[in-house]
Structure 1
Amino acid sequence: MKLELKDLEMLMEKFESSSLSEMSVSDGDFKFAFKKNTQSDCIKKTNIESVTSALNTEPEALEVKETTSVSSNTESEGSYVTAPVSGIFYASSKPGAPEFVKTGNKVKKGDVLGLIEAMKVMNELLAPKDGIVTKINVTDETFVEYGQEIICLKDC
């Protein structure tokens, strides 16, 4: 069986409307995992170019829903933006480029805070609200787990 783009889109739609919280699909060398983040505050559609060659389609034809969630923190430093997927965290868009954010930076809702690469797909970690970055818990090119607290934002 060869998984095609229309099949992947159909699976995504079925999964989104189902009561499942996780689902895995494999087709030869390609493996796809779907997870719902029930604490999501921000949803954004993003073009994913890195999987287009595997699916033999144009970059504009493939869109994936992204989620960024926030966990409460009892300390006065703010609330954490957590990893929507497990993967490798990147603080910048490419090696040698400036970091998306640093401690002390002001961000607006929807700003990119970092990237997480999972299954050769770059997922944007988005600011769910306006705030000031008070803490960054991970360094560039480190593995992060689903739900791990990545960046702390304090209301401004």
Structure 2
Amino acid sequence: MSEVRNRKSSLKPDSDDSDSDGEFKEIIKDIENDHWKDGPVDETRWAKTKSAVHEWGMSCSWHGIPHMAQSLSWPTILLWSTLLCISAVGFVYLITITVKQYFSFQVLIDLNIGMDQSNFPSITFCNSNPYKLSAVQAIPELEALLTVYSQAFT
């Protein structure tokens, strides 16, 4: 303690020592009475649980939980917990419906050719035959194949 007093008096050599020395003794007494320097104080189970949950909440990757952990007032904690619960219930509901639908093994075959009621134009520009007839007739082997093909269907 004498070192600290010597430092103080060396800082203010011309000050009134009786008044400032009393203030200084009070500061030293407060520091000595602090419990933080005595080591960890035995926390209650509730305080340990609360700090563990807060630490987990701050490092959690779920969207709403860090917001709840950072909240300072009960209404904001209640708001974030409500939003989180609504989202979780919605998620479970949608997953349940999807899994039920998947395991019902429904087979649905719907063929729609689209030719039921369509008006054909008077001029058609599309040709489904990829070969020109004049090019096929120019080659004698293909001409013979075309003749055999046409005779088979007549």
Q: TM-score, normalised by structure 2?
A: 0.18
Kindly indicate whether structure 1 or structure 2 has the higher relative contact order, using CA contacts under 8 Å at least 6 residues apart. 1
Q: Tell me which protein shows more strand as a share of its residues.
A: 1
Structure with greater helix percent: 2
